[in-house]
Structure 1
Amino acid sequence: MAAQSSEYSGETAAYKMNDKILLIQVIVVLFLCINLLLITTFFTKEVFYTTMRYVLFAVTLMSDCLFLFLADILFILNFYRCTMKMWLCLAIYIISSLYMFVTPLTLTAMTLERYVAICLPLRHAELCSPRSTLHGILIIHSLSSLPCIVFLSIFFASASYSSYTQGRVCTVEIFILHRWQGHLSSAINQFYFLIMCITIVFAYVKITRVAKAASGEDKKSTWRGLRTVGLHAFQLLLCLIQLWCPFIEAAVLQINLISFINVRTFNYITFILAPRCLSPLIYGLRDEMFFHALKRLALCGLRKKH
């Protein structure tokens, strides 16, 4: 009886986890579809792809789509303990590591754009021109690649040639051959996010001062910009907590496997999915011009179906 009860409870836990996996897939597919619709909307008007804040918004959407897709594949493979060749895992890690940083760095750039628009309106056209936008995107991707380059340089110097053909469950931990590698990677990540947090706090304080001094329509516009910066700060906080998740999961794994799976699932939804799903809500639905273009595109699609 005890064995049957244990087997039944194990099957029940498995069914519950399969339900969670299914729920996550629904969330991922839903937001990928929303992001793709927003990306399509971005290309419907010239003003969108010639204005810095909309271009940066499109960069976050594309980055989030790629990151969500890769993170979801890895989550499923890790959950079912599927293995792959180290070189393939390495390729996936390079892309996901790069785009893990692109979104928060782009959010920081969008915050600076709001700061310039509200606090330095006379210099906005000069500082936020299409040329400056292109340079900004190149700088964002260059900065995003630095942590990955440092981390992989250490791995390539330490790993043996035979390890690249081995089949392993693809996690970031398999690239950490020395404990200090993990500490170095964590220190670099924390430094990046500290700089981003300082930038957002600086912009928030400056915009708050302008908002208090403004009047009429200017005041309304300024407070809207302030709320946008606040939402960016919340997104960045969730991204920052994501860096601490591996340490929490490692501690829980020592206690109980089922608890570890539950904690990893919670962390994945809260600190990986959620920050990437907030972008459409912050800019795609709150921005009047973009929302009207999105609404027009959606209505045209419905009319064609009918």
Structure 2
Amino acid sequence: SSQYNLSTENIFWTTSVTVQQLKMVIIQKLIAIFLCVNCFMLFTFFKKEVFRTTTRYILFAHTLLNDSVLLLFTDLVALQVYLNILIPVEFCILLCMIMEILSRTTRFVITAMCLERYVAICLPLRHADISTLRTTLAGILFIWALSSLYVIIDLFIFTAIAPPSYYAEETFCRYEILLLTEWHTYMRAILSNLEFAVIGIILVFCYIKITTAAKAASGDNKKSSSKAQKTLLLHTMQLLLCLIEMLCPFVEIVVQEIDFQIFVNVRYFHFIAFTLASRCLNPLVYGLRDEFFFAALKYYACFRLKKTVSPHF
């Protein structure tokens, strides 16, 4: 996806080698921290059956795993650029396709999380029937199929246009190597805008319904509805960061025409502020705000020695 333009050849070109090294060290440390946090949360998820059989936790774990793999691949691309290693286009295609699918899958799963909260708050009597393990797995498969469809269309167009000699050309891995014509780029932009419009409508619908339910509720129900509202707002922030990620390349094109050095710094900032930040929010939404999951995290973080945390939460 275009938001992973971190992989272009100029991202780490600066006048100072020390600055290059510092930027790479910062990226490596941030990714390492995120991966450690995600791995610990995944460990906690798999240790408890109640998490493995509950829709919202399954979707949460899926997003953690999805983001972790995406960060690993993004890091590989960053290292490829930093070490100035060129790879034939034919070998980059698969990596670019996987990263694009993972990127789209994250957005769709976050939307599914919002729908799950809507069902839990606004349709509590039907929640148990709708949010079953079978339905959840079917939903995840559908999300993967839908995410893959975008890439399959791009690949079909690419193979129909690309000359045989193009596959042997050496390059840095980025999704733009699959976009050889201007109309193809516009088509992708239109599809992406349509996708975010649909997601936006779903979010607004869920938020209005949950807000209405919160006003009409009382006691524990009001507390749950209010918490769901805040969760939805955090999910909206995640998706907003994803949208900004998609818009970043257009800003970078304008900046590049003005000053190349500013362009390099802007691109680095975009990667830190939007690509990494959007994936940092997910552990916060469920990992720290959810009482049961947070209790489990504390229990295993203390190596099961903390007496105030029950292993049966």
4+ residue stretches of structure 1 with deviation over 4 A?
A: none
Instruction: Report the alpha carbon displacement of residue 295 of structure 1 after superposing the two structures with TM.
Output: 1.1
Q: TM-score, normalised by structure 2?
A: 0.90
One-letter amino acid of the structure 2 residue matched with residue 31 of structure 1: F
Q: Hey, what does 1:161 align to over in structure 2? A: 164
Q: Hey, what does 2:44 align to over in structure 1? A: 41
Distance 1:221 1:197 in 2: 23
Residue 48 of structure 1 aligns to a residue whose secondary structure is helix
Percent identity among equivalent residues? Answer: 45
One-letter amino acid of the structure 2 residue matched with residue 28 of structure 1: I
Matched, 1:263 2:266: yes
Residue 63 of structure 1 aligns to a residue whose secondary structure is helix
One-letter amino acid of the structure 2 residue matched with residue 251 of structure 1: V
Deviations 1:46-103 (Å, cap 9, x if unpaired)? 1111100000001100100011111122133234543111122101101000000111
Q: Hey, what does 1:116 align to over in structure 2? A: 119
Distance 2:125 2:44 in 1: 29
Q: Hey, what does 2:237 align to over in structure 1? A: 234
Instruction: Report the alpha carbon displacement of residue 123 of structure 1 after superposing the two structures with TM.
Output: 0.3
Instruction: Report the alpha carbon displacement of residue 17 of structure 1 after superposing the two structures with TM.
Output: 3.2
Q: TM-score, normalised by structure 1?
A: 0.92
Q: Is the 8 A contact 2:299 2:305 kept in 1?
A: no
Instruction: Report the alpha carbon displacement of residue 227 of structure 1 after superposing the two structures with TM.
Output: 0.3
Distance 1:69 1:193 in 2: 25
Distance 1:15 1:101 in 2: 35
Q: Hey, what does 1:13 align to over in structure 2? A: 16
Query: Cα 1:247–1:76, aligned 2, differ >3 Å: closer, same or farther?
Result: farther
Q: Which moved more, 1:58-67 or 1:75-84?
A: 75-84
Q: Is the 8 A contact 2:14 2:264 kept in 1?
A: no
Q: What RMSD in Å do the two structures reach over aligned CA positions?
A: 1.7
Q: 2:145 aligns with which of 142, 151, 167?
A: 142
Q: Is the 8 A contact 1:78 1:171 kept in 2?
A: no
Q: Is the 8 A contact 2:97 2:175 kept in 1?
A: no
Instruction: Report the alpha carbon displacement of residue 199 of structure 1 after superposing the two structures with TM.
Output: 0.5
Q: Hey, what does 2:4 align to over in structure 1? A: none
- How many residues in Structure 1 have an aligned counterpart in Structure 2? 294
Residue 209 of structure 1 aligns to a residue whose secondary structure is helix
Q: Is the 8 A contact 1:186 1:243 kept in 2?
A: no
Distance 2:23 2:238 in 1: 23
Q: 1:247 aligns with which of 242, 245, 250?
A: 250
Distance 1:106 1:121 in 2: 21
Q: Hey, what does 1:126 align to over in structure 2? A: 129
